[in-house]
Amino acid sequence: GPKVLQIPSHQIIDMGQMVTLNCDPVSNHLYFYWYKQILGQQMEFLVNFYNGKVMEKSKLFKDQFSVERPDGSYFTLKIQPTALEDSAVYFCASSLDPRDTLYFGAGTRLSVL
Amino acid sequence: QQQVRQSPQSLTVWEGETAILNCSYENSAFDYFPWYQQFPGEGPALLISILSVSDKKEDGRFTIFFNKREKKLSLHIADSQPGDSATYFCAAQLPGTGSNRLTFGKGTKFSLIP
């Protein structure tokens, strides 16, 4: 089936540094999402992105977070600066329509030391 | 307050048995409930889903039973197979939104007795 690729699978950084998580969504999809999962907790919606703009974001999407997809390349989540509480698995997802099936990547495990 | 709750946290059954995974929710406005299946090292993948206007949805060995009044649903896995071992997430979505914002439960880790 359709695949969403996330790079890297694991990232370790020091608190205060910047990190960029990369996502290669399904090729013809138009809506892109990030979800965050802290160990042992449920996956939580962060943000969705369409046509170059953030459509909706949750309270977890702090000011230090930003998303973009320049010229149809990777859909990225940037955190600058990082904090200890940003340690989690971040899942990227994409869909063709807003109410269509979400396809998830395998996640990027972010460890902030 | 957790909007979507799942039980049990983990479930182990014998091969061939029927497994029942439970889910309940707080917001009566939720109208769409997908179940996602996740294998280790992979992302969650849609398994089966139901709209709140239905009380049952079947797809092969997987069946969702939905009780709108009690705000509960369950996923039944009939004739459990080793390949069914995975974590199952119940999720919920509000109607009429322009985004695919899902509210997830914590998941049930399902495995078969070897």
pLDDT tens per residue across span A12-50: 999 999 999 999 999 999 999 999 999 889 999 999 999
Cα-based angle B105, B99, A40 (whole degrees, multiple of 5): 20
pLDDT in tens, B54-79: 999 999 999 999 999 999 999 999 99
User: Residue type at A3?
Assistant: K
Half-sphere exposure of A41 (CA within 13 A, CB side): 16
Instruction: Judge whether B40 is closer than 8 Å to chain A, CB to CB.
Output: no
- Residue B80 belongs to a domain with what CATH number? 2.60.40.10
Task: Write down the pLDDT at residue B60.
Answer: 97
DSSP 3-state of B85? coil
CATH H superfamily, domain A5-112 = Immunoglobulins (2.60.40.10)
> Of the candidates A48, A55, A106, which has its C-beta nearest B42's C-beta?
A106
Does residue B45 surpass a pLDDT of 90?
A: yes
Return contacts of A59-67, CB within 8 angstroms, 24+ apart.
A60/A36, A67/A32, A67/A34
Q: How far apart are the first and last CA of chain A?
A: 36
pLDDT in tens, A75-90: 999 999 999 999 999 9
**Domain membership of residue B12 as a residue range:** 4-112
Does residue A72 surpass a pLDDT of 80?
A: no
The region that residue A6 occupies, defined by phi over 0 for left and psi between -120 and 50 for alpha, beta otherwise, is beta
Does residue A57 surpass a pLDDT of 70?
A: yes
Q: How many other CB atoms are found less than 10 A from the CB of residue B6?
A: 22
The total number of structural domains in chain B stands at: 1
Does residue B99 surpass a pLDDT of 70?
A: no
Question: Contact, B54 vs B101, CB < 8 A?
Answer: no
Of A97 and B1, the one with more pLDDT: A97
- With a pLDDT cut of 70, the percent of chain A lying above it is 100
pLDDT in tens, B1-27: 679 999 999 999 999 999 999 999 999
Beta strand spans in A29-81 (E): 31-37, 43-50, 53-57, 65-68, 75-79
Task: Write down the pLDDT at residue B97.
Answer: 64
Interface A-B: count of C-beta contacts within 8 A: 65
Q: How far apart are the first and last CA of chain B?
A: 37
Encoded tokens for A49? 């992105």
Interface of A with B (CB under 8 A): 1, 4, 6, 31, 33, 35, 40-45, 48, 55-56, 58, 91, 93, 95, 98-107
